[in-house]
């Protein structure tokens, strides 16, 4: 089975960039439309969970815990000006938070780093 990415990313532009970069790396991407769906997908062999921090109302602690339990790496991206949300994500157990602009500019390199 190829390494798989679960993307909890409602933004279509970001989602398509993730899918294209993953395809170039020989990896499949599944987009989750909700937090419960993302958590369920982790138990199906996911290697990486990507969370868009602009999606409000997410329980970042629950996502991080589910990722740890399933052995899945978890990263996030969000607006660089929202430092409080980035700190919240890191405190919840998300491994790395990227500024949205950097994540979108370097998507393939970021995915390669976290899938290796």
Segment 64-114, tens digit of pLDDT: 999 999 999 999 999 988 899 999 999 999 999 999 999 999 999 999 999
* Domain with 31 in it: 4-115
Contact 65, 35 (CB under 8 A): no
Contact by Cβ (8 Å): 77, 33: no
CATH assignment at residue 37: 3.40.50.2300
- Edge to edge, the sheet with strand 46-52 lists 28-31, 4-8, 46-52, 73-78, 96-99
Q: Which residues contact 64 (CB under 8 A, 6 or more apart)?
A: 74, 92, 93, 94
| Prediction pTM value | 0.94
Which tens digit of pLDDT belongs to each residue from 34-75?
Answer: 999 999 999 888 999 999 999 889 999 999 999 999 999 999
Bridge partners (DSSP) of residue 76 are 51, 97
Query: What was the pLDDT predicted at 29?
Result: 95
Total of domains in the chain: 1
């Amino acid at each position: 089975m190829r390494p798989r990415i679960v993307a909890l990313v409602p933004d279509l532009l970001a989602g398509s960039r993730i899918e294209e970069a993953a395809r170039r790396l020989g990896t499949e991407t599944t987009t989750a439309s909700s937090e419960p769906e993302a958590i369920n997908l982790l138990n199906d062999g996911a290697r990486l969970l990507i969370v868009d921090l602009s999606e409000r109302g997410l329980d970042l602690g629950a996502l991080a815990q589910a990722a740890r339990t399933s052995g899945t790496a978890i990263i996030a991206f969000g607006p660089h000006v929202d430092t409080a949300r980035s700190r919240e994500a890191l405190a919840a157990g998300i491994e790395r938070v990227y500024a949205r602009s950097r994540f979108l500019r370097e998507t393939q390199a970021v995915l390669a780093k976290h899938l290796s």
